[in-house]
Amino acid sequence: MSQSEIFVLPSPRAPQLRSSLAMIKVRKLVKRFGLKTVLRGMDFSVERGEFVALLGPNGAGKTTFLRILASLSRPSMGGVNIAGYRLPDQAAAVRRRLGVVSHLPLLYGDLTSEENLRFYGRMYGVQDLPARVAEVLELVGLTPRRRDLVRTFSRGMQQRLAIGRAVLHDPDVMLFDEPHTGLDQDASAMLDTVLREVAARGRTVVMTSHDLARAADLASRFDVISRGVITASVHSDEIETNNLLAFYRQAIQSS
């Protein structure tokens, strides 16, 4: 890629906190582990219905940040609001509005896919549970495997069922931490289809990813995190797909 191609990219900018429509709003977020500071006064905002890909190198703080949004870790300083509720004070209310897919599928291998969803559905108090389970299995393409034990599933099928688990209670916000990790090309392609369907239903999505090509194909916004802060943010309609790598490198180098 020539130097001139980089100059046509939008200038890196910090994300703007557009408060009235923000489903997720983070201000001056700090996270420390002992003497190590991982997040350094991070600002972040996502509007209802946006699909944000959070990009960055290993150690940038992506997973730590998602764990805080998922109420699995407490911030050291700063404010976090999701769907109008504060973290960590109102964590129970936030969790009811979240669907989380992490590196672990959080499924029971000795239960069928249908039984797993029924278990989580009862935990969330899902109404008309049998019909909802059937709808979700159809969404993630596992209806033919509904009575099979999850331990017999491939990694890709487990990841699709994990997404089914996460959307079962119809959450406002979906958090995905590297959902394509460990998947082959066919499984990744099937997962992309499910992610598009999830986003098409109007949910707010934040996904961490190392795969720029897949992120470019899925997300409506790209935020680059480096050294614990957002260093650049751009919407998909502001950048050509084949310029995303240059934008990412420019954002990392300028941090």
Of 194 and 85, the one with more pLDDT = 85
The average confidence (pLDDT) of the chain is: 89
- Domain ranges within the chain, ordered by starting residue: 3-97+171-253, 108-170
User: pLDDT of 91-113, one tens digit each?
Assistant: 999 999 999 998 888 999 999 99
For the cut 90, the answer to whether the pLDDT of residue 166 exceeds it is yes
Q: Rounded distance, CA 64 to CA 36, Å?
A: 13
User: pLDDT of 10-62, one tens digit each?
Assistant: 444 444 443 446 899 999 999 999 999 999 999 999 999 999 999 999 889 99
For the cut 80, the answer to whether the pLDDT of residue 116 exceeds it is yes
- Report angle CA 118, 121, 126 to the nearest 5 degrees: 130
pLDDT of amino acid 81 = 96
pLDDT of amino acid 21 = 66
Outline where DSSP puts E strands in 114-228.
173-177, 204-209, 221-226
Q: pLDDT-derived band of residue 242, with 50, 70 and 90 as boundaries?
A: confident
Strand (E) or helix (H) holding 244: helix 244-253
pLDDT of amino acid 253 = 87
User: pLDDT of 129-161, one tens digit each?
Assistant: 999 999 999 988 899 999 999 999 998 899 999
Contact 172, 204 (CB under 8 A): yes
User: pLDDT of 171-218, one tens digit each?
Assistant: 999 999 998 888 888 888 888 888 888 888 889 999 999 889 899 999
Q: pLDDT-derived band of residue 67, with 50, 70 and 90 as boundaries?
A: very high
Of 116 and 8, the one with more pLDDT = 116
Contact 229, 197 (CB under 8 A): no
pLDDT of amino acid 1 = 40
CATH code 3.30.360.10 for 3-97+171-253: no
For the cut 60, the answer to whether the pLDDT of residue 8 exceeds it is no
In 3D, which of 158, 173, 157 has the Cα closest to residue 94?
A: 173
The pTM of the full predicted model, rounded to 2 decimals, is: 0.87
